[in-house]
Each structure stands twice: as structure tokens, then as C-alpha cells.
Amino acid sequence: GNSVTQMEGPVTLSEEAFLTINCTYTATGYPSLFWYVQYPGEGLQLLLKATKADDKGSNKGFEATYRKETTSFHLEKGSVQVSDSAVYFCALIKWNAGNMLTFGGGTRLMVKP
């Protein structure tokens, strides 16, 4: 079946540091890939997405590139802020297979001033 694996947290960084959160997936065919963010005390929000190989999703300074050859969708940001502290979830949808999101385990990011 489909699965998503992302790095265990927490990830602790200083403000303005470079962020990478790794995400790899297992799925046949060409799933769509997503990053969701859970800010403290809030529900999940869609951060960015990519629907085909080599697509780059971007939002709020975050980027992730759909790499079919490595089945990866790593999240990056060049300069993190304290306000980026949250839990980040990588997810996929395999079309024509129920259209259900499959989530990774989530990675908590803590950014210190």
C-alpha cells in the first residue's frame, strides 16, 4: 500500500537557519504530494503541493520538489523564523485509489530566536 516516511523530530534551529525536512514515499504510479502544517492550537493547513514529477510547490518561503527518481518531496526554507515553529506533515494522494490522503508521522520544528 501507500506510505509516507518523514524524519523524526523535533528539529531545533536558530532563527535564519536553513531548514530541510526529509520526506520519502512509497506508491505506484504518480501520486500527488503535499505538505501540511499544524501551528500550535490550530488545525491543519495545506502549505504546498505538487501534482507531477519535477513540479516545485512553494508558499511562504517554503519549497518542495517532486522527485520521482528518488520518491522524495523534501521541504526546504532558506531562512526560518520563530513563527515557523509548528508540526509539518508530508502526505500523498494516489488518484483512483480512494483519493484518501496518506500522512507521514509529522515532524515538529522548533525555531529559537
Partner 1 sequence: DTAVSQTPKYLVTQMGNDKSIKCEQNLGHDTMYWYKQDSKKFLKIMFSYNNKELIINETVPNRFSPKSPDKAHLNLHINSLELGDSAVYFCASSQGVNEKLFFGSGTQLSVL
Residues that bind partner 1 (CB under 8 A): 32, 34, 36, 38, 40-41, 43-46, 49, 87, 89, 93, 98-103, 105-106, 108
Question: To the nearest whole angstrom, how small is the minimum distance from the Cβ of residue 41 to partner 1?
Answer: 6
Contact 19, 77 (CB under 8 A): yes
The DSSP code for 9 is S
Nearer to partner 1, 16 or 100 (CB): 100
Q: What is the DSSP string of 59-102?
A: ETTEEEE-BTTTTB--EEESS--GGG-EEEEEEEE-TTTTT-EE
Nearer to partner 1, 26 or 79 (CB): 26
CA–CA separation, 8 and 10 (whole Å): 7
Nearer to partner 1, 17 or 44 (CB): 44
Question: To the nearest whole angstrom, how small is the minimum distance from the Cβ of residue 100 to partner 1?
Answer: 4
Question: To the nearest whole angstrom, how small is the minimum distance from the Cβ of residue 16 to partner 1?
Answer: 24
Q: Which residue, chain included where needed, has cell 516516511?
A: 5
Nearer to partner 1, 29 or 41 (CB): 41
Question: To the nearest whole angstrom, how small is the minimum distance from the Cβ of residue 4 to partner 1?
Answer: 11
CA–CA separation, 17 and 22 (whole Å): 16
